[in-house]
Chains A and B, each alone.
Chain A
Amino acid sequence: AQSVSQHNHHVILSEAASLELGCNYSYGGTVNLFWYVQYPGQHLQLLLKYFSGDPLVKGIKGFEAEFIKSKFSFNLRKPSVQWSDTAEYFCAVFSSGGSYIPTFGRGTSLIVHP
């Protein structure tokens, strides 16, 4: 069974600080990787995704993530956070092929102080 670990459960930063949220997964086959974000009072929405090709993917609002296959990691980064980035961030792994079983991490709560 696949699993997703998000090691940082709560992160507090000041505006302009750099952000890196860790995501590690366990699955032996090919995977599709996603980061979803949930802003306060809003629904989950897609931040960025990786299917294949360039392991460095760019998403909305200046976020990017790097897929490192050897480390089973898909860490999310942003060079300079803003107060509006305060949200819950979820890493998700979808196994490619076979049965459809998406797996989400437990989430990281990010608070950015102005």
Chain B
Amino acid sequence: DAGVTQSPTHLIKTRGQHVTLRCSPISGHKSVSWYQQVLGQGPQFIFQYYEKEERGRGNFPDRFSARQFPNYSSELNVNALLLGDSALYLCASSFIQGNNSPLHFGNGTRLTVT
């Protein structure tokens, strides 16, 4: 079985630009969540989507948005990029929304903002 796939693996953007990151969950998983991991820190929760609806949101500005498609894949969009947005962005999928459904992580997208 294919795991969670994220694209692109690496990305370099300039301040002020916008970026779209993509995630395909494990087949059969209906929940996707997004995390930002800054060097030396643990993953910080951004969004969770289940059945195409936002079910949870972390403490991130409105420049961050996401959506989930009918095939359960997901996009994370970040507008007006700042240098501080440079990080590894992780996507995780789970079978159901519940808190006891283990997360399966992708390898992440490394975003560098210059």
Contacts and interface: CB of A to CB of B under 8 A. Distances in A.
B44 interface: yes
Interface in B51-68: 55-56, 58
B99 A106 contact: no
Interface stretch (B14-22, B74-82, B101-109): B101-109
Contact of B107 (A43, A99, A105): A43
Q: B-side binding surface: helix, strand, loop or mixed?
A: loop
A76 B92 CA distance: 23
Contacts of A96: 99-100
A46 B102 contact: yes
A44 interface: yes
B70 interface: no
A73 interface: no
A79 interface: no
Interface residues of A, number: 27
B42 A102 contact: no
B105 A34 contact: no
B8 interface: no
B40 A44 contact: no
A101 B48 CA distance: 9
A105 B92 CA distance: 17
Given A44-B92, A106-B40, 16 more contacts: A4-B42, A6-B42, A32-B100, A36-B103, A36-B105, A43-B106, A44-B43, A44-B90, A46-B103, A94-B99, A95-B99, A96-B99, A101-B56, A102-B33, A106-B41, A107-B42
Interface of B: 3-4, 33, 35, 40-45, 48, 55-56, 58, 90, 92, 97, 99-100, 102-108
Interface of A: 4, 6, 32, 34, 36, 42-46, 49, 51, 90, 92, 94-97, 99-107
